[in-house]
Chain A
Amino acid sequence: MNQKFENLQQSFRRWWPFYVMLAPGLLFYLVYHYLPIWEARLAFQDVRIIPPNIWVGTKHFVALASSPVFLQVLMNTIVISAMKLVFIFPVPILVALLLNEVRSANYRKFVQSVIYLPHYLSWVVIAGITVATLSPSDGAVNEVIGLMGFDPIPFMTDTGSIRWVLVFSEMWRSAGWDSLIYFAAIVGISQELYEAAEMDGAGRWQKIWFVTIPGIAPTIATLFILNVGLFLSQGFDQVINLSNDVVRSHIDIVDTYVYRIGLQTGEFALATAAGLFKGVIGMILIISAHTISKRLTGKGVW
């Protein structure tokens, strides 16, 4: 017993400065991450003006499951995420492949420094830019449509277009920046492989197909799995800034729904239940993604 106590004392004497360093970070994680997890018990309660709240079990989850609005929101989330995955995911790979073909380092740096920029803009700013660019009266896109002899399209208030607005604004923001990780992977491919391919008489496209793409395949696989893992957690900032009353029912996703019914309408318990539902599904997705990625490529998500 005494020996154990002495060990503990010795250990403390050695490590205490590091615990001091940890303290602010741990306090942050407690307040912003662990207290909310505890607070999420609200999903199983009914809110009363005078505390304590009443425990109601899974009532709110049952209500969600039978709510046509929530089911629509869930459907929107899945459809929009799938559209983004299909149409956005390949673009940065293509951009990286093109960038790698550029022989002038200056031209390549020029292109890179422009196309990375939108990644650093907030969705408030991008929403402003998007609305201006898509304006039916004087937006650049409709000017081009007009030059081709067609009528302008009111993209932001057109229920048929609005999901595509989400896809293309996300592409505008991230296709450039996301190409960086593939470009880094391409640069890491051994030059000898290219030389060997050239000896065999391979042209530009053959080298891309037989050397570059196999070389970045693990990166592509990891990022694809990661994207699937984050399937449900994409686009809150985007949707909240690009939404309006006309198109809301087509692009309302789980996160915006939680915000709307929780903080705007005041149905706290129902909103917490919806958020918790998404949190649990998201957790299952990301842990599966990590496990699959680890098994497939040896590299996990974290």
Chain B
Amino acid sequence: MFTNSRSTPFERIEYILILSALFLMVVVTAQPILHLVAVSFSDPAEVPGMSGLEVLPRGVSFDVWSLLIQNPNVQRGFLNAAIITAAGTVIAVLGTTLMAWALAQQRLPGRRIILLLVLVTVVFDPGIIPEFFVMKNIGLLNSYWSVILFRAVFAWYLIILIRLFEEVPSELLEAAELDGANPFQTLWYVIVPVAKSSIAMITLFYLVLNWNEFFRAMIYLNDPDKWPLQVVLRQFVVEGDKVGMVGLANVSANTDVNQISIRALKAGMITLTIAPLVLIYPLILKYFTKGTMSGAVKG
């Protein structure tokens, strides 16, 4: 690291300061998360005395986690989130890819007007109330579909894909046409393999967006049994609704649940909601960083 023969002692101190500044940033980013993970795995009796600076569990216990995993609200929340994320992502990736491939046809009649219509939606947002009434009028309120379809085609990802598809060498397309491929076959056998990593990137984008969606779920799904994990978490951590989380009996009575502090339960709930994202995070790093570095991503 310090092999540069021309570097003076002053420059070495400078370099160490730069590395330290970045390390401080790593600590500030990771410490709050690690602390919550530590609290969730600590012995519940020790939690009330824990300092916010600690990042190692005090005594190891799975009490919080077993309680969370057995909680029917959490189970349903996880299942709902899985349904919404899976369906939402599959539909979004299919819808966006198909639309992008059609709009990548330079000579498609009506192409410009459709692109303009998409652009208008990026620029102008009439707000949430009109959208709410549309959902109500077409009978999607309290249906998973209202949340699943909400981001079916995200304009920025559509634009990214159109640009990528336009760059596919025309020789490849002509070869496919000579072989008698119809547009669907060309998309499937030529375009998708060429744009594989971009489509993977967009799939991951949609996965994250759908998993993190809470607002549409919160306003469109009245029935708590349909809430995804983010809304269950919000009800507990943001709204402070302990009753819905641990049950009325446990809030007042001196039961096992009450012995475990609310602080530990919240920490566990937050960790649980992050966990699936952390699992796919290595993939995200691989594809997103590559995509951004090649200039394919905006914003």
Within 8 A of B (CB), among A254-280: 255, 258-259, 262-263, 268, 271-272, 274-276, 278-280
Do A132 and B31 touch (CB < 8 A)? Answer: no
Contact B22 A99 (CB under 8 A): yes
Stretch touching chain B among A35-43, A76-84, A159-167, A210-218: A35-43
Q: How far is the CB of B108 from chain A (nearest CB, A)?
A: 6
Q: How large is the interface on B (under 10, 10 to 19, 20 to 34, 35 or more residues)?
A: 35 or more
A113 and B285 within 8 A (CB) = yes
Closest partner residue, chain B, to A181 (CB atom) = B292
Count of interface residues, chain A, beta-carbon cutoff 8 Å: 94
Q: Using A21-B99, A103-B1, A125-B270 as known contacts, say yes or no to A40 and B127 having CB atoms under 8 A apart.
A: yes
Question: Is A114 part of the binding interface, using a Cβ–Cβ cutoff of 8 Å?
Answer: yes
* Contact flags A96-133 to B (C-beta < 8 A → 1, else 0): 00110111100100111111111011111101110111
Chain A residues near B150: list those with CB within 8 A. 32
The B contact surface, by secondary structure, is helix
Whether B114 lies near A111 (C-beta < 8 A) is: no
Q: In the bound complex, do residue B237 and residue A102 qualify as a contact, i.e. CB atoms below 8 Å apart?
A: no
Q: Are A98 and B21 in contact (CB under 8 A)?
A: yes
Assess the A102–B19 pair: CB atoms within 8 A: yes
When distances are taken between beta carbons in the complex, the residues of chain A under 8 Å from B178 are: none
Report whether B127 and A18 are in contact in the complex, using a CB–CB cutoff of 8 Å.
Answer: no
Nearest B residue to A287, CB-CB: B123
B117 contacts partner chain A, Cβ-Cβ < 8 Å: yes
B102 proximal to A (CB < 8 A): yes
Taking a contact as CB atoms under 8 Å apart, the answer to whether A129 and B230 are in contact is no
* CB <8 Å contact, B127 and A138: no
Q: Which of A15, A22, A129 contacts B114 (CB 8 A)?
A: A22
B172: chain A residues at CB < 8 Å are none
Asked if B208 is at the interface of the complex by the 8 Å CB criterion, the answer is yes
Minimum CB distance partner of B96 in chain A? A25
Q: Which of B51, B103, B133, B212 contacts A143 (CB 8 A)?
A: B51
**11 residue pairs bridging A and B, Cβ less than 8 Å apart:** A25-B98, A32-B152, A36-B134, A98-B18, A104-B1, A110-B26, A123-B214, A127-B238, A138-B50, A184-B292, A204-B11
What 9 new A-B contacts, CB under 8 Å, besides A21-B102, A25-B95, A302-B122? A19-B102, A24-B94, A25-B153, A28-B149, A39-B126, A132-B270, A181-B297, A203-B11, A282-B124
